Amino acid sequence: MQVATGKSVLNGISIGKIKVYKAPKLEIDDSLIDDIEAELARFDDARERAIEQQNALYEKAVIDAGEDSAEVFSVHAMMLEDDDLIDATNEIIKTQKHTAEYAVKVAFDNQAKVFAEMDDPYMKERAADIYDIEHAVLGYLFGISGDILQGTEPCILVANDLTPSETVRLNKSLLLGIITREGSLNSHTAILARSMGIPALVQCKDVNEDWEGKPAIIDGYNSCAYIEPTDDLEKTLRKRKEKDAKQRALLQELKGKSNTTIDGKTIQVYANIGGPSDIGLVQQNDAGGVGLFRSEFVYLNARDYPSEEEQFNAYRLAIETLAPKQVIIRTCDIGADKQVEYMGMEKEENPALGLRAIRICLTRKAFFKTQLRALLRASAYGNLGIMFPMIISMRELRECKELLAECAEELKKQGVKIGKYAVGIMIETPAAVLIADELAEECDFFSIGTNDLTQYTLAIDRQNAALDPFLAKHHPAVLRQIKMTIDAGHRHGTWVGICGELGADLALTETFLRMGVDELSVNPVSVLPLRKIIRGIDLRKEPGAGLTDETEAVSTAPTE
């Protein structure tokens, strides 16, 4: 038996035979051509066919993985219409008299290298998008079909890497799991695999072509794969796989039931979403509302500043569909690890401590007011909460509220209907914790962003994997700040929730309930496991004593 390690994209167990995918080798030489016009026409035809392919992949991905995950293919189609990329390719054909294949390889590779050399991790990943569309165009130039990658039998697919296009073309009914030598947890391929519920392992340096046809098991919980596992190990992991399936079925029985502890304390369980395409997951998992609508994805998925109308339509869809449930929308949280090229942000030595979130909004007020107007218009269609991120002072909060009031007055004068809405802030810095009493006087609610609160409290960059050994997610300094925030909010009649990753940490659920938290907002698939834990807690007993055996079993299971 061989044990191969990597990084797990999705918790879960996958068992099956391996199919090794080998990308077709495209032999491109530097031979010259005589008919330039014919070669230009070949490139244009291949590019148009590649655009049609990306649009078709978008439609397939919407069904398999959701609209947000599918958006990459719309971006690919737009990239293939980029004038600079087209001109660069045509210029090589015209002036150097090279084949279309050679011109595409050189021009597209040059563009990919520009992205690959950028410091920002998100922008680095865009190099993979260029290579993806390059392969699509070359595929048509060479007459190669990439529709069948994994054969006709159920398999665990092993590859050096997979582009987003290759991932979506996979037959999901035959795909048991994915193992790749390259890739990252932030790549589009990883996101797609996660969205489709496929256990996958990336950065597995042990990948070997000799694995072809061998039995294997992906253990997503322990970030490894077993090649030719022993009978005993396979038996154990099959039991775990069956247990996971039974657990998911049992959790479905909790739909419609309250989030009430044995001793009668009820807590709200909301969902975190990235956009309107996640609404189905909120409903499917029976969340009580949306505690965090990450509006930055409206910006990240756009090629230019989204208009007021575009934003209004996105916000209205979520608010109207889920009414009367509350939908809390966080205003634009661009910056740090989330960058958009069209905003023209200057490079910063330490972006996590730089111009991000509310700091961008308050220095670009016209940009901010566009979003606030869209939110106010959408408030007429349901139960809206507006949440400002990265607030560290009373001045910032008051300035935000003044701009909000200014927008409301403008809309009223235009005869635009505005509904009722709540106003709150993210508590995600020690500064906000220490002035929480003052902030609470001007807020309807607090939502504690534990990801950034942990980062800023421990002085650890949460994007730096090398610091993982030093990152104590349950650090007492972080937990004490959460308790301080809850107490401060309650002193002023302000309800307090948690929307960071710790909210889904089932080992802390009882701790948070004893602190008095009012709401926990988690990724949609964690809603029912969290409800299960809450319903098994008895706050009248000593800490930890309220957990039943069944609840303990759930609490030890990873929630993704």
Q: Token digits for 486?
A: 């809850």
Per residue in 179-196, is it b (16+ CB within 10 Å) or e — as a string?
Answer: bbbbbbeebbbbbbbbbb
**Residue 406 scores a pLDDT above 70:** yes
Name the band, by pLDDT with cuts 50, 70 and 90, for residue 148.
low
d(CA 346, CA 378): 32
Contact 436, 446 (CB under 8 A): yes
Q: Concatenated DSSP letters for 294-310?
A: ETHHHHHT-SSPPPHHH
Residue 333, marked binder: no
Q: Are 418 and 411 in contact (CB under 8 A)?
A: yes
Residues 107-133 have pLDDT tens digits of 999 988 887 877 655 567 678 889 889
Verify whether residue 499 is a known catalytic residue.
Answer: yes
For residue 496 the two structure tokens come to: 């307090």
Q: Tell me the average pLDDT across 226-238.
A: 95
* Phi, psi at 234, each rounded to 5°: -60, -40
Annotated ligand binding at 238? The verdict is no
pTM recorded for the entire structure:
0.60
Q: 36-142, superfamily in CATH? A: PtsI, HPr-binding domain (1.10.274.10)
pLDDT in tens, 505-543: 999 999 999 999 999 999 888 898 899 999 999 999 888
Question: Is the pLDDT score of 146 beyond 60?
Answer: no
Neighbours of 2 (CB within 10 A): 14
CA 4 to the chain's CA centroid: 26
| Banded pLDDT at 463 (limits 50, 70, 90) | low
**Residue 326: pLDDT above 90?**
yes
pLDDT, average across residues 151-164:
85
* Angle 539-544-545 from CA coordinates, rounded to 5°: 70
Mean pLDDT of 272-297: 85
Higher pLDDT, 338 or 156: 156
Give CA–CA dist 211/332, Å, rounded: 46
484-503 mean pLDDT: 95
Q: How far apart are CA 467 and CA 465, in angstroms?
A: 5
| Residue recorded with tokens 């008299």 | 97
Q: How far is CA 51 from CA 81, 140, 361, in A?
A: 8, 11, 35
DSSP 32: B
Residue 47: its pLDDT value, please? 95
Q: Give the pLDDT confidence score for residue 481 in this predicted structure.
A: 97
pLDDT at 260: 95
Give Cα 62 distance to the centre of its chain: 15
pLDDT of residue 121: 58
Q: Which of 76, 98, 135, 188 does the annotation list as catalytic?
A: 188
Which has the minimum average pLDDT: 101-110, 252-261, 492-501?
A: 252-261
Lowest mean pLDDT among 170-174, 530-534, 555-559: 555-559
Q: Which two tokens stand for residue 58?
A: 């978008």
3-state DSSP call for residue 16?
Answer: strand
Residue 547 scores a pLDDT above 60? no
pLDDT value for 299 = 79
Looking at 102-106, 293-297, 319-323, which range is the least confident one?
293-297
Dist. CA 170–CA 178, nearest whole Å? 11
Separation between Cα atoms, residue 425 and residue 438, nearest integer Å: 12
Class (C level, CATH) for 2-23+148-233: alpha beta
Please state, for a pLDDT cut of 70, what percent of the chain lies above it. Answer: 89
Give the per-residue pLDDT at 88. Answer: 93
If pLDDT is split at 50, 70 and 90, which confidence band does 297 have? confident
3-state secondary structure of 9: coil
Residue 385, by phi and psi: left (phi above 0), alpha (psi -120 to 50) or beta? beta
Q: Is 402 annotated as a binding residue?
A: no
pLDDT for 531 equals 93
Q: Is 451 annotated as a binding residue?
A: yes
Sheet of 224-227, strand order: 2-5, 224-227, 215-219, 13-20, 155-159, 175-180, 200-202, 7-8
Indicate the average pLDDT of the chain: 86
428 is in an annotated binding site: yes
Q: Say whether pLDDT at 553 is over 70.
A: no
Q: Is 330 annotated as a binding-site member?
A: yes
Q: Are 164 and 73 in contact (CB under 8 A)?
A: yes
* Residues 378 and 312: beta-carbon distance below 8 Å: yes
Q: Where are the domains of the chain?
A: 2-23+148-233, 36-142, 259-525
Whether 11 has a pLDDT exceeding 50, the answer reads yes
Secondary structure letter of residue 2 according to DSSP? E
- CATH superfamily label, 259-525: Phosphoenolpyruvate-binding domains (3.20.20.60)
Does 188 qualify as catalytic in the annotation?
Answer: yes
Answer whether residue 464 shows pLDDT above 90: no
Position 560 scores a pLDDT of 33
Q: What is the pLDDT of residue 145?
A: 59
pLDDT at 51: 94
Residue of 155, 332, 361, 499 with catalytic role: 499
Mean pLDDT of 196-202: 84
* Main-chain dihedrals φ then ψ at residue 202, nearest 5 degrees: -115, 165
